[in-house]
Structure 1
Amino acid sequence: MNHATPLRRTLTALTTTTLLAGGLLLGQTVTAEPAHAAGKKIVCNVPKMRQQAADLRSKAAQLQRLGATAEARKARGQADALERKAQACIDAEDSAPKPWK
């Protein structure tokens, strides 16, 4: 029976750890508030987003001229992300059901 005790302790500890970790993950997903339930209307300022993207692109060009390629790549990536977000806002607005139709 001496050989079963360490195995029993190990299995008990492993089971307890797994249950605690699963409970924490489940608790986080249950208590997290979904984006659509927040009650806030998402407003996209497309011209402002496009202007920010253009500013980032000009900053990227300047960084590229100065030889900072990694920073330029990061700025271009941020500009691309802003452009995609602006296009997503436009697409969402176009595909939303219109109350007057």
Structure 2
Amino acid sequence: MMYATPLRRTLTALTATTLLAGGLLLGQTVTAPTATAAGKKIVCNVDKMRQDSHALRAKADKLQHLGATAEARKARGQADALDRRIRSCIDADDNHKPWN
């Protein structure tokens, strides 16, 4: 009768543990609830959001002209985030599948 070497036993145990942990994580991912907005319908007012973005960019330009670069960078970052939300709202409207 041939016995497994300690290295082979270790590798087998490590492989089994890895597969078990991976399966557990995969199972949690599959059964996790999807993110929703607390059951509320999300409404994007794109025109208002664009006005806010434009106002933030104008504020950033004014701050930059006055020499407040850190505040201008923050205002531009907020405007960029708002622009990303606008794009995601438009993409969600374009890719909406009412038959699902």
- The equivalent residue for 2:51 is 51
Q: Which amino acid aligns with 2:68?
A: A
User: Distance between the aligned counterparts of 1:51 and 1:58, measured in 2?
Assistant: 11
Task: Map residues 71-86 of structure 1 onto 2, 5 A cutoff.
Answer: 71-86=71-86
User: Distance between the aligned counterparts of 1:94 and 1:55, measured in 2?
Assistant: 26
Percent identity among equivalent residues? 66
Q: CA deviation at 1:34?
A: 6.5
Q: CA deviation at 1:51?
A: 0.4
User: Distance between the aligned counterparts of 1:97 and 1:58, measured in 2?
Assistant: 37
RMSD of aligned residue pairs (Cα, Å): 1.8
User: Distance between the aligned counterparts of 2:95 and 2:62, measured in 1?
Assistant: 38
Q: Which amino acid aligns with 1:82?
A: L
User: Distance between the aligned counterparts of 1:37 and 1:90, measured in 2?
Assistant: 17
**TM-score in terms of structure 2 length:** 0.62
**TM-score in terms of structure 1 length:** 0.61
SS in 2 for 1:36: coil
Following TM superposition, the consecutive aligned residue runs of length 4 or more in structure 1 with deviations greater than 6 angstroms are none
Write 1 or 2 for the structure with the bigger share of helix.
1
User: Distance between the aligned counterparts of 1:57 and 1:75, measured in 2?
Assistant: 7
Q: CA deviation at 1:37?
A: 6.4
- The equivalent residue for 2:93 is 93
User: Distance between the aligned counterparts of 1:39 and 1:67, measured in 2?
Assistant: 45
Contiguous gaps of at least 5 residues in structure 1 = 1-32
The number of residues matched between the two structures is: 67
Q: CA deviation at 1:89?
A: 0.2
SS in 2 for 1:91: helix
Q: Which amino acid aligns with 1:63?
A: L
User: Distance between the aligned counterparts of 1:45 and 1:75, measured in 2?
Assistant: 20
